Structure 1
Amino acid sequence: MKTTFKDIDDYISIQTPEIKILLEQMRQTIKKAAPEAEEVISYGMPAFKYHGILVYFAAYKNHVGFYATPTGHSEFKEELSVYKQGKGSVQFPLNKPLPLDLISKIVLFRVKENLKKKSA
């Protein structure tokens, strides 16, 4: 699998049709929640940056990984408890709809958090 991508479009372009749909849903949800955020590739994954990284996401064989740094996950611990998790990551299974409202809430939380850090 390709490991270097010039942008998020490039990353999404190599995925299967089913995963492309999910990644685009994720992307649009993040863009709507953080319209001023910049799309970047960081650590080989799509990411959104606004006064620092907000969130990352990535496609895997059986899930879409979502990385909102440990604070984004700890703040929404209860809502995310139904998903498999790792340190700073959550796995959204491919056979279920993405929790787009929850993703949006997490992104908004991260925007506020980054703005607080910036002004401190």
Structure 2
Amino acid sequence: MVASNVDEYIAGFPAETREVLERVRATIREALPEGTEVISYQIPAMRVDSKVVVFFAGWKKHISVYPVPVGDAAYARAIEPYQTGRGTLKFLLDKPIPYELIGRTAALLEAERGGH
């Protein structure tokens, strides 16, 4: 089933994954308070001024955040353990999720876009 909104998308996961996805969602909302949630490419995304800034997705053993912004050296070091592809951050569900890093990622993506 293809979700028509973020609530439906998150509802399709087991309880433990739903909890993480809800916290990721809240973290991104906090980083992008002017954003609007949408489903884009069949996964949750946050749009600001009609442009998608950040995507997140749940998987069986991890959650992912896309794309990866260009950051300073400290940010690059912080994301190193989570960067699995050129534009993907992958957070394993059996390890602590660095929500602050996810919020920082969303804020950097917005800044790259020319937002705040």
Q: TM-score, normalised to structure 2's length?
A: 0.88
Q: 2 CA distance for matches of 1:97 and 1:55?
A: 21
Map 1:2-41 to 2 at 5 A.
2=1, 4-41=2-39
The letter for the 2-side match of 1:56 is F
Structure 1 portions without partners, runs of 5+: none
| Backbone CA RMSD of aligned residues | 1.4
**What stretches of structure 1 move > 4 A for 4+ residues in a row?**
none
Number of residue pairs matched?
Answer: 111
> 1:33–1:107: 8 Å Cα contact kept in structure 2?
yes
SS of residue paired to 1:82: helix
Q: 2 CA distance for matches of 1:55 and 1:24?
A: 15
Tell me by how many angstroms 1:108 deviates. 1.1
Q: 2 CA distance for matches of 1:38 and 1:97?
A: 27
Q: 1 CA distance for matches of 2:90 and 2:56?
A: 10
SS of residue paired to 1:61: coil
Structure 2 portions without partners, runs of 5+: none
Q: TM-score, normalised to structure 1's length?
A: 0.85
Deviation string 1:74-111 (CA, Å, 9 cap, x unpaired) is 42321111125112101100011211111111111112
Q: Is 2:43 aligned against 1:57? A: no
Q: 1 CA distance for matches of 2:40 and 2:86?
A: 18
What's the % identity of the aligned pairs? 32
The letter for the 1-side match of 2:105 is I
> 1:50–1:114: 8 Å Cα contact kept in structure 2?
no
SS of residue paired to 1:65: strand
SS of residue paired to 1:27: helix
The letter for the 1-side match of 2:46 is F
